[in-house]
Amino acid sequence: MHPLETVILLLVFVLGLAMLARRIHLVFPILLTVGGLVIGLVPGLPQVVLDPSVVLLVFLPPVLYSAAWYTNWSDFRRYAEPVIVLALGLVLVTSLGVAWLAHAIIPGFTIAMGLLLGAIVSPSDAVAATAIMKTQSVPRKIVTILEGESLVNDASALVLLQLALAAVSTGAFSLGHALLEFVLLSGGGIGVGLVVGFVSYCIHRHAKLEPGLETILTFVTAYLAYLVAEHLHLSGVLSVVTAGLFIGHKQSRIHSPIVRMQAVAVWDFVIVLLNGLIFILIGLQLPHVVSAIKGESTNHLLAYGIGISLTVVIIRFGFIFMADTLSNQVRKLVHLPPIFPSRRYTTLLAYISMRGIVSLAAVLSIPEHLPNGSPFPGRNLILFITFCVILFTLVVQGVLLPVVIRALAFGQQPTDYLSRHEVRKQLSQRALRQVQQLVCQEKLTGAAVQVIVAQHQMRAKELAHMETAALLDQHQLNQKLMLTGIQAQRDELINLRDRQQIDVELFHELENELDREEIQWHPVG
Do the Cβ atoms of 239 and 190 come closer than 8 Å? yes
Q: Is the predicted pLDDT of residue 493 greater than 90, yes or no?
A: no
- Please say whether the dihedral angle defined by the alpha carbons of residues 107, 113, 115 and 121, taken in this order, is positive or negative: negative
**In whole angstroms, what is the distance from residue 322 CA to residue 320 CA?**
5
- Count of C-beta atoms within a 10 Å radius of residue 195: 17
Q: Which pLDDT score, from 0 to 100, does residue 483 have?
A: 82
Number of H helices, E strands in the chain: 22, 0
Q: Which pLDDT score, from 0 to 100, does residue 514 have?
A: 84
Q: Which pLDDT score, from 0 to 100, does residue 155 have?
A: 84
Q: Which pLDDT score, from 0 to 100, does residue 525 have?
A: 46
The model's pLDDT over 136-194, given as tens digits with 9 standing for 90+, comes to 778 888 988 998 898 888 888 988 898 888 888 877 666 677 778 888 888 999 999 99
Q: Which of 10-19, 34-43, 262-271 has the lowest mean pLDDT?
A: 34-43
The model's pLDDT over 400-418, given as tens digits with 9 standing for 90+, comes to 998 998 898 776 666 666 6
**CA dihedral defined by 333, 338, 339, 342, rounded to 10 degrees?**
150
CA triple 409-403-91, angle to 5 deg: 95
Do the Cβ atoms of 151 and 67 come closer than 8 Å? yes
Q: Which pLDDT score, from 0 to 100, does residue 420 have?
A: 67
The model's pLDDT over 458-490, given as tens digits with 9 standing for 90+, comes to 777 777 766 655 656 666 777 788 888 888 888
**Bridge partners of residue 375, in order along the sequence:** 369
**Bridge partners of residue 259, in order along the sequence:** none
Rounded to the nearest 5°, which phi and psi values hold at 375? -60, 145
**CA dihedral defined by 106, 314, 303, 88, rounded to 10 degrees?**
-50
Q: Of 475, 471, 474, 431, whose CA–CA distance to 453 is shortest? A: 431
Rg (CA), the chain: 26
Do the Cβ atoms of 304 and 298 come closer than 8 Å? no
Contacts of 200 (CB under 8 A, 6+ apart): 217, 218, 220, 221, 224, 243, 247
**In whole angstroms, what is the distance from residue 454 CA to residue 441 CA?**
18
Average pLDDT for residues 305-323, to the nearest whole number? 96
CA triple 118-122-124, angle to 5 deg: 160
Q: Which pLDDT score, from 0 to 100, does residue 416 have?
A: 62
Q: Which pLDDT score, from 0 to 100, does residue 88 have?
A: 92
3-state secondary structure of 499: coil
Across the chain, mean pLDDT equals: 85
Task: Select the more confidently predicted residue: 64 or 455.
Answer: 64
Contacts of 484 (CB under 8 A, 6+ apart): none
The model's pLDDT over 348-360, given as tens digits with 9 standing for 90+, comes to 999 998 898 889 8
Q: Which of 46-55, 262-271, 402-411, 452-461 has the lowest mean pLDDT?
A: 46-55
3-state secondary structure of 506: helix
- Please say whether the dihedral angle defined by the alpha carbons of residues 409, 345, 313 and 357, taken in this order, is positive or negative: positive
**In whole angstroms, what is the distance from residue 174 CA to residue 509 CA?**
64
Task: Select the more confidently predicted residue: 313 or 508.
Answer: 313
Q: Which pLDDT score, from 0 to 100, does residue 411 have?
A: 67
Q: Which pLDDT score, from 0 to 100, does residue 173 have?
A: 65
Task: Look up the pTM and report it.
Answer: 0.80
User: b/e for 423-440, b at 16 or more Cβ within 10 A?
Assistant: ebbeebeeebeebeeeee
Residue 87 per-residue DSSP state = I
Residue 369 per-residue DSSP state = B
Q: Give me the amino acid identity at 354.
A: M
**CA dihedral defined by 175, 177, 181, 183, rounded to 10 degrees?**
70
The model's pLDDT over 198-219, given as tens digits with 9 standing for 90+, comes to 999 999 888 888 888 999 999 9
- Count of C-beta atoms within a 10 Å radius of residue 477: 10
Q: Which pLDDT score, from 0 to 100, does residue 498 have?
A: 85
Cα separation of the two ends of the chain: 39
Q: Which pLDDT score, from 0 to 100, does residue 394 have?
A: 87
Q: Is the predicted pLDDT of residue 12 greater than 50, yes or no?
A: yes
